[in-house]
Chains A and B, each alone.
Chain A
Amino acid sequence: MYVHNYDTVIIGSGLAGLCAALEAKNAGTVAVLAKLYPTRCHSTAAQGGIAAALGNEEPDSPEWHFYDTVKGSDFLGDQDAIEVMCEDAIRTVVELEHMGVPFSRIPEGKIAQRRFGGHTREFGAAPVRRACYSADRTGHAIVFALYEQCMLKGVEFFSEFHVLDIVVEEGRCQGVLAMEIKTGKLHAFQAKATLVASGGYGRVFKTTSNALASTGDCLGMLFNRGVPLQDMEFFQFHPTGIYGLGILITEGARGEGGVLRNSRGERFMERYAPTIKDLAPRDMVSRAILTEIKEGRGIDGKDYVYLDLTHVPRKNIEERLPEISSFCKIYLGIDPAEEPIPVLPTAHYAMGGIPTDVDGRVLRDEKGETIEGLYAAGECACVSVHGANRLGCNSLLDTVVFGRRAGRAINKELKGLRQGNIKKEIVNQVFEEIDRLLNSKGKEKIGKIRKQLQQKMMEHCSVFRTEEHLRMLLNELKNIKERYRDIGLKDTSRAFNTELLEAIELGHLITISEVIAESALRRTESRGAHYREDFPKRDDENWLKHTLAFKKNGSIEFAYKPVRITKFQPEERKY
């Protein structure tokens, strides 16, 4: 057992964690723990861009961005937080450029911008070029620049350290317990401030654009320690995943002129969103695709539609979308400049997560009380700027803006925080749990249980939901939990035991799935990504509020809190 003491401990080396680290380093020692090598975080996979109203290619304003984000969120986003994000977007992107991010450029040398879903000028009049990009490798470009800056600044990285527990005890966060994967040894990191930046959890679903490592471990850990999870019923399905694989084709492909077509060759989005068509928000486009398929207009009667780029100039595809062209060539054997791409919605982004205020402080309840020493930012957090549906390019922005703000809050508050202290009992509990798992001789295989879980979540809790299906799912989840108690592991070694880690991840996936299903069952309305066929209308009178799920005495309890509305009153959402 190794004990480390740091001022700040950050879980996750995605964009949120890296930005926070750069700030927190100004005030003291920082350790970043990540279960993968730092640059292998899933931020690296982000393709399309980061939103900021730079106005480099055409007039734009932060206020329009603010409005679009509120409307995109189906009015569930907290407007004070959204305003903070959109106002800070320009400074953020400029600062990223100064740190070395190799953005694509326009002839005058400024950062190039393209269209993206739901981003408009003049409050919905027409699409606007707001997405700043580096071809279709924007996430990769930003991650490397920030990681390199962290290196320069002397941030310490603990790569391939898998966090097993976040110790929230005696009303505050004391630090974290982690396993050094290479050796299997346990390390305690005691901290004044702990920041969770552990990313998304798309792996609760069968078809997803998320990495195999996107398992939401930290949400499971915190939930088990009594921290609430907010708005978990809202999970975004991105309209254009490669059919059969779920690999993402960025919305930037439609931003560059690509259109969706059904079996009749019809550009069907014209019917669903007459003004901005294929660039409508993702929840609407995903439902439109599945409706086309349901009504028999899938390609060859099958369950996919086409994303057609064949009319986009080859040069634009090669220069601005090289990565997705290469995916099409490798995984489908097609050239997107010649042939349309078969696509189907894929589980993509978690709007819900750990509730925080605009400075990343984690909230313990619906009244807004915070937990001393605990912060969260990025996809794992819920500020909430995305409400019921995130707009494309707003997530990278969220990670950078709120990662930085959390880091700054830590700077300010560090002086008043005591060094955390992780008690022996807690360490022993974790040791025992590891030993129990290593010696588990049950008959169930984790891979099979995981498959069943992902399949059932997809069947009953994806784009369309009903009470009947959600109840079926909850029953399935009971059975899955039973089976999970009876798992057996083959690998009993300590060093690099990925089977053990997968077993632990599976436990968290099950917990999160339950919270998603229970939250979805209770919300008897349709809003953004949460669509209830049995309650197809948005119901502002009863449901203009955030869900908070708590674990209490072994079961899940709920509380709700109002949405903060400052500027834009809820209106019908038409595009």
Chain B
Amino acid sequence: MKRYIFRIKRFNPETDQAPYWQDFEVKLEPMERLLDGLLRIKEEQDGSLTFRRSCAHGICGSCAMKINGRNRLACQTLAKDLPDRVEIEPLQAYPVIKDLVVDMEPFFSKNEEVMPYLINNNPPPERERLQSPDEQKRLVESITCIMCGSCTSACPVYWADRQYLGPSALLKAYRFIFDSRDQATQERLKRIIHSHGLWRCHSIFNCVEVCPKEIDITSHIAALKRFALRKGLKG
């Protein structure tokens, strides 16, 4: 067991005027998760410490937070990779509700704008629609997104323009535009090509750097751009 100082940014909307930092000492085994540390603090030291969590293994997307300046999942960050002092803050660019909990609505609502559902108006066949393994593989990275919000929160374009769709919503658009079964490409392109859409992305790669599922988001956005260009839809 090693001792760590967790320096956590706290804020209770009912009692605090402004956020403040609080230090907690916590012991962790090398292979334990930062999330285990937060749970331990909540259990043993301060029941009011507030954060989201559920699956505890990087699949539900609840526990994204800023850890030593970088967005990560608390349940996917191991103690052995941490320095003795760890600064933990809520995700940047979303309104803080309490302690490490932010309001994700602005993030989720962007997804809805890109029509995130398969549209195919042909009468459904008796059995499954056919799709080749290669056509399916084209989607594999984009469908692993867990909607943790890390990417959009780390995006300088989003910091400057809160109406910008953001990396995750563009990735969602990719997921449907490049699905061989989908027929709403035109409509969807309209939804992403506007002054807060696709062409605002300047390939800064912050999203790729923080994505806990290691999705190469920028290359997906680049594929969308090439596709749009071919359709003559620049800017």
Contact = CB atoms under 8 A, between A and B. Distances in A.
Contacts of A102: 136, 139-140, 143, 179
B78 interface: yes
B136 to A, nearest CB: 5
Contact of B47 (A99, A326, A490): A490
A39 B48 contact: no
A148 B117 contact: yes
Contacts of B144: 137, 140
A211 B55 contact: yes
Contacts of A445: 43-44, 47
Interface in B117-174: 117-118, 120, 124, 126-133, 135-136, 139-140, 143-144, 146-147
B42 interface: yes
A140 B50 contact: no
B133 A446 contact: no
Nearest to B15: A493
A232 B59 CA distance: 28
A40 interface: yes
Nearest to B36: A245
A140 B14 contact: no
Nearest to A135: B140
Contacts of A39: 60-61, 146-147
Interface in B57-89: 57-62, 76, 78
Nearest to A106: B133
A44 interface: yes
A327 B46 CA distance: 30
Given A105-B131, A496-B50, A40 B117 contact: no
A446 B47 contact: yes
B12 interface: yes
Interface residues of B, number: 57
> Is the contact region of chain B dominated by helix, strand, or loop, or is it mixed?
loop
B181 interface: yes
From A42, A108, A144, name the one whose CB has the most chain B CB atoms within 10 angstroms.
A144
A447 interface: yes
Contacts of A494: 14
Interface in A439-478: 445-448, 450-451
B233 interface: no
A134 B128 CA distance: 14
A98 B129 contact: yes
Interface in A186-231: 211-213
A110 B131 CA distance: 7
Interface in A235-293: 244-245, 247
A504 interface: no
Interface residues of A, number: 67
From A41, A107, A498, name the one whose CB has the most chain B CB atoms within 10 angstroms.
A498
A450 B136 CA distance: 44
B219 interface: no
A37 B54 CA distance: 11
B117 A330 contact: no
B143 A144 contact: yes
A126 interface: no
A211 B52 CA distance: 12
Contact of B124 (A93, A98, A149, A245): A98
Given A39-B147, A149-B117, A493 B12 contact: yes
A499 B48 contact: yes
From A213, A330, A497, name the one whose CB has the most chain B CB atoms within 10 angstroms.
A330
A331 B46 CA distance: 27
Given A40-B62, A212-B54, A495 B14 contact: yes
Contact of A44 (B55, B78, B103): B55
A432 B139 CA distance: 51
Contact of B57 (A37, A140, A331): A331
Interface in B185-223: none
Interface string A95-126: 10111101111111111100000000000000
B21 interface: no
Given A45-B59, A446-B47, A448-B43, A152 B117 contact: yes
B43 A496 contact: no
A176 to B, nearest CB: 21
A413 interface: no
Contacts of A111: 128
B110 interface: no
A480 to B, nearest CB: 16
Contacts of A134: 143
A152 B114 CA distance: 12
A29 B117 CA distance: 21
Nearest to B43: A447
24 contacts: A36-B60, A37-B61, A40-B54, A94-B126, A100-B118, A102-B139, A106-B133, A107-B132, A109-B130, A145-B118, A148-B116, A149-B117, A151-B117, A182-B103, A211-B54, A245-B57, A326-B58, A330-B78, A493-B48, A495-B12, A495-B97, A497-B50, A498-B42, A498-B50
Q: Please give me the 9 A-B residue pairs with the lowest Cβ-Cβ distance, nearest first.
A: A447-B43, A100-B118, A109-B130, A491-B48, A490-B47, A148-B117, A499-B47, A97-B128, A40-B60
Interface of A: 36-37, 39-42, 44-45, 93-95, 97-100, 102-112, 134-135, 137, 140-141, 144-145, 148-149, 151-152, 182, 211-213, 244-245, 247, 323, 326-327, 330-333, 445-448, 450-451, 489-491, 493-499
Interface of B: 12-15, 31, 39, 42-44, 46-48, 50-51, 53-62, 76, 78, 97-98, 101, 103-104, 108, 112, 116-118, 120, 124, 126-133, 135-136, 139-140, 143-144, 146-147, 179, 181-182
Given A39-B60, A496-B98, 13 more contacts: A36-B60, A37-B61, A40-B60, A42-B54, A99-B118, A104-B133, A110-B130, A148-B118, A152-B117, A330-B78, A332-B31, A447-B42, A493-B98
